[in-house]
Amino acid sequence: MIPQAPKGTDDILPPASEKWRTLLRGFEDLARRYGYALTMTPLFEATELFSRGVGEETEVVEKQMYTFADKSDRSLTLRPEATASVVRAYLGAGLQGVFKGYYAGPMFRYEQPQSGRRRQFFQVGVEYLAEPSPDADVEVIEVGYRLLADAGVTGVGVRLNTLGDPADRAAYRDELRSFLRGRAGDLSPDARRRLEGNPLRVLDSKADAEVVADAPAPIDSIGGEAAAHFSGVRAGLDRAGIPYEIAPRLVRGLDYYNRTVFEYVSADYTAAQDALGGGGRYDPLAEMLGGPPVAAVGLAMGVDRIVLAMPDPEPAGPDVFVVLADPQRRAEALGMVGRLREAGLWAEMDLGERSLKAQFKVAGRRSARLVAVVGDEWDEGEVTVRRMADGEESRVAIEEVPAWASR
């Protein structure tokens, strides 16, 4: 038996890989235009980084981590997300002041796969450190919005909420907890279990939607500064022309968030796992990791999901497919392919020993624009070039072929 790819992992092959390539290149250009620098961190980290950074009581840490002991018995974990790593790297390098980093890479969570949810999945993201201005939130939200727009994803909208500052959050947590206790009989078992530890997580539970609809929302109990910050974010989004809706129950599952949280959805991509990306402000994280306070906001985009929502690209093929009519002239044909490539063209040739007819068939299947026939006319210094779309043929001088094909 051929070994299978592990459950919840994917091989990215053509034609889908073309969408990946488009998106990844687009993201890199985009991030650089906004001033973010490439930031690479390890795929595995000390387990403690995530339990402290992401939060002991979160779903991710409780049951979704790929944790293992290495040969020296260190507890390591395949990263379930990258934000904690970037902050660790910033603190560890002794960096100070504003830092803007972007990353792209696989993340790992031990979950039951379904549409848009994989055990190894790919995120691209940006982190904007040491900048408390609401305009930083706006910029980050804009990057994700642009990425989706550039990728051709339609019907994109932003869901926005604020969780307030840690003090607001603590007060709100108590308020929510007492509300939920009063309705404990109506709650799902999961929700009852979470009630004491991390009641905010009950808010985005589908099973408890009815109860939650009557619950107080975090947005109603935030303090003055956080409220002003939120107004600033909203004003900035309006200025940037980014459509958003307030989602009072949006909390997101990671403990480090404060104030702004957001996610992207598309009206034209409907699956249970519909968030194409998300993020928020996480001012408390640096201190949670034992560092000094560092204001921060960031986002992560789910590439696997975005690719599902992207339109199919135009099929692309070689500019010139060189075909061998006379096997004696193989060396000449290979030389021609080489010259075409040097000229910057996409040139191919079938390296098997197939009939002319079969070679044409391959050229057609590959969506070649032109086919150059290397045969007897080579003695006269020419090749026959056929335009595949309409079958029109012309004789072209050998040295003219690259220029001819470039038109």
Partner RNA sequence: GUGACCGUAGCUCAGGUGGUUAGAGCGCCAGGUUGUGGCCCUGGAGGUCGGGGGUUCGAGUCCCCUCGGUCACCCCA
Site for RNA in 223-262 (CB under 7 A): 251-254
**109 contributes a contact to RNA by CB under 7 A:** yes
Q: Smallest gap, in angstroms, from Cβ of residue 68 to RNA?
A: 15
**Which of these ranges, 6-14, 93-101, 130-138, 161-169, lies near RNA under the rule CB under 7 A?**
6-14
Choose which of 30, 87, 215, 363 interacts with RNA (CB under 7 A): 363
Question: How far is it, in rounded angstroms, from Cα 384 to Cα 394?
Answer: 6
Choose which of 52, 88, 118, 229 interacts with RNA (CB under 7 A): 118
Q: Smallest gap, in angstroms, from Cβ of residue 392 to RNA?
A: 8
Q: Which amino acid is at 243?
A: P
**381 contributes a contact to RNA by CB under 7 A:** no
**319 contributes a contact to RNA by CB under 7 A:** no
What is the per-residue binding string for RNA in 68-107, x denoting contact by CB under 7 A?
Answer: -------------x--------------------------
Give one word for 288, left, alpha or beta, with left for phi > 0 and alpha for psi -120 to 50. Answer: alpha
- Residue of 261, 280, 270 lying closest to 305 (CA atoms): 270
Residues in 323-362 at the binding interface with RNA, rule: CB under 7 A: 325-326, 352, 354-358, 360-362
What are the strands of the beta sheet with 156-162, ordered from one edge? 37-38, 99-108, 120-129, 296-302, 277-281, 258-266, 156-162, 244-246
Q: Smallest gap, in angstroms, from Cβ of residue 317 to RNA?
A: 9
CB closer to RNA, 88 vs 194? 194
Q: How far is CA 140 from the centre of its chain?
A: 14
CB 367 within 8 Å of CB 385:
no
Backbone φ and ψ for 366, nearest 5 degrees, come out as -80, 0
Question: How far is it, in rounded angstroms, from Cα 153 to Cα 307?
Answer: 9
Residue 214 CB neighbour total at 10 angstroms? 9
Question: How far is it, in rounded angstroms, from Cα 344 to Cα 52?
Answer: 51
**186 contributes a contact to RNA by CB under 7 A:** no
Residue 347 CB neighbour total at 10 angstroms? 24
Choose which of 11, 70, 93, 112 interacts with RNA (CB under 7 A): 112
**114 contributes a contact to RNA by CB under 7 A:** yes
CB closer to RNA, 166 vs 317? 317
CB closer to RNA, 237 vs 265? 265
CB closer to RNA, 133 vs 188? 188
CB 282 within 8 Å of CB 271:
no
**14 contributes a contact to RNA by CB under 7 A:** no
**137 contributes a contact to RNA by CB under 7 A:** no
**Which of these ranges, 52-60, 154-162, 175-183, 223-231, lies near RNA under the rule CB under 7 A?**
52-60
CB closer to RNA, 235 vs 316? 316
Residue 289 CB neighbour total at 10 angstroms? 19
